[in-house]
């Protein structure tokens, strides 16, 4: 009997994160005319007279999203805010307020939480957002951080995931893959430390990629830059789960295909060197690495002259008709289907 019972139950792994959200929320109806966008984009959008409010939230769990054995609490506080602001900027909106809730066990002294809040405050100051609320409670085990970010903009400026067109250029900001390789270096140091607690790690040659992992920056500057260049992207998303997963979100939501060119993917030399050292393929890392918090967006071809000279932007491909599918064009000029593999999938390999 117990066995039968188990067989009739569905495990969460079978569905995956996106499948789970869709499954659990598919029967919910939107009833307010102020709810312009609900679940399914980087952030929800509420429409009020003269103002669009953007809302996004993330839940960070110790042991799942961060490992306090190598993540300083200041950086964790900073990153927890960045992860959310990044979603607001991915809507082409300006972040203005956050709420922060934490659950914490008694093993944390006050001084640890002060460090966490120094990081949160630094993020608030650097990005000019106000902390407006939250909840502080106890936890039975580790640290839990829940951040909700609120932004606003005007109706014409909101950029979603579902408005890319075939022929649009695909643009990536900065470079990608670094945050994932930074994590690999930190994980290796942790393993070394376990064996020899007196080891002194020399992370200087990995400074950039470790900083990208521990203290990412959300691309507020890109939203402001696009505005000053008078470029309104046709679709946008932030790169939290790896380039392939994000580009496939744009394709699926916009009902288009894409050609992504391997040789165009922007990589920092430190990522290339560290990939060689770890015997990892740098393209795979860029496609599936995640946590870069760069922006991925599409623009009309006629806007290309406005962005082409800017070192912040790299055109990595173009959108195609939906029936053509989503492909990576390799350096050897072979065309292979893009598949979504978030960094969680990558880690379990």
Task: Tell me the binding residues for substrate.
Answer: 65, 291, 343
Among 10, 200, 228, 333, indicate the residue that binds a copy of itself (CB under 8 A).
Answer: 10
User: Binding to a copy of itself by residue 349, rule CB under 8 A?
Assistant: no
User: Which residue, 130 or 321, has its beta carbon nearer to a copy of itself?
Assistant: 130
Q: How far is the CB of 95 from a copy of itself (least distance, A)?
A: 10
Binding residues: 42, 56-58, 65, 87, 117, 134-135, 161, 238, 240-241, 291, 343
For residue 11, CA distances in Å to 5, 63, 125, 179 come to 12, 21, 42, 30
User: Which residue, 20 or 203, has its beta carbon nearer to a copy of itself?
Assistant: 20
Which candidate, 333, 221, 243, places its Cα nearest to that of 291? 243
Task: Name which of residues 104 to 133 contact a copy of itself (CB under 8 A).
Answer: 104, 106, 108-111, 113-114, 117, 121, 124-125, 128-133
User: Which residue, 57 or 312, has its beta carbon nearer to a copy of itself?
Assistant: 57
Among 72, 134, 167, 325, indicate the residue that binds a copy of itself (CB under 8 A).
Answer: 134
User: Which residue, 104 or 209, has its beta carbon nearer to a copy of itself?
Assistant: 104
Among 1, 4, 9, 331, indicate the residue that binds a copy of itself (CB under 8 A).
Answer: 9
Binding residues for Mg(2+): 42, 56-58, 87, 135, 238, 241
Phi, psi torsion values for 198, nearest 5 degrees: -90, 0
Count, residues in the chain: 349
Q: How far is the CB of 275 from a copy of itself (least distance, A)?
A: 27
Starting at the earlier edge strand, list the strands of the sheet with 313-321.
235-239, 294-299, 169-173, 313-321, 256-261, 326-329, 335-337
Applying CB under 8 A, the site for a copy of itself has a residue count of 80
Stretch that binds a copy of itself, among 91-99, 162-170, 266-274, 322-330 (CB under 8 A): 91-99
Query: Per-residue string for binding with a copy of itself, 152-191, x by CB under 8 A?
Result: x---------------------------------------
Task: Name which of residues 23 to 82 contact a copy of itself (CB under 8 A).
Answer: 23-25, 27-32, 34-35, 37-39, 43-44, 46, 48-51, 53, 55-59, 61-65
Q: What is the CA radius of gyration of the chain?
A: 21
The Cα 296–Cα 100 span in angstroms is: 27
């Amino acid at each position: 009997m117990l066995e039968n019972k188990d067989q009739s139950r569905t495990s969460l792994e079978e569905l995956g994160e996106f499948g789970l959200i869709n499954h659990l929320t598919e029967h919910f109806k939107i009833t307010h005319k102020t709810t312009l966008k609900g679940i399914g984009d980087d952030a929800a959008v509420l429409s009020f007279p003269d103002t669009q409010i953007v809302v996004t939230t993330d839940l960070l769990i110790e042991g799942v999203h961060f490992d306090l054995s190598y993540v300083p609490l200041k950086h964790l506080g900073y990153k927890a805010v960045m992860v959310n602001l990044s979603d607001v900027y991915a809507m082409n909106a300006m972040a203005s307020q956050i709420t922060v809730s934490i659950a914490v066990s008694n093993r944390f002294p006050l001084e640890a939480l002060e460090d966490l809040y120094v990081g949160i405050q630094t993020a608030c100051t650097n990005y000019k957002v106000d902390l407006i609320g939250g909840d502080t409670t106890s936890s039975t085990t580790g640290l839990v951080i829940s951040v909700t970010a609120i932004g606003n903009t005007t109706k014409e400026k909101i950029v979603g995931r579902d408005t890319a067109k075939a022929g649009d250029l695909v643009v990536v900001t900065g470079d990608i893959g670094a945050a994932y390789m930074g994590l690999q270096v930190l994980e290796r140091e942790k393993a070394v430390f376990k064996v020899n607690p007196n080891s002194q790690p020399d992370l200087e040659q990995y400074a950039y990629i470790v900083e990208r992992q521990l203290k990412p920056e959300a691309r507020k500057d890109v939203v402001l830059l696009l505005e000053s260049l008078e470029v309104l992207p046709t679709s946008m998303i932030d790169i939290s789960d790896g380039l392939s997963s994000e580009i496939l979100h744009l394709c699926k939501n916009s009902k288009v295909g894409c050609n992504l060119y391997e040789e165009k993917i922007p990589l920092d030399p430190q990522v290339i060197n560290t990939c060689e050292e770890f015997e990892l393929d740098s393209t795979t890392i860029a496609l599936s690495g995640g946590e870069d918090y760069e922006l991925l967006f599409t623009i009309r071809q006629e806007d290309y002259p406005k962005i082409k000279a800017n070192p912040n932007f790299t055109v990595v491909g173009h959108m195609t008709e939906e029936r053509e599918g989503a492909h990576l064009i390799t350096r050897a000029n072979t065309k292979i289907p893009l598949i979504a593999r978030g960094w969680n999938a990558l880690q379990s390999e």
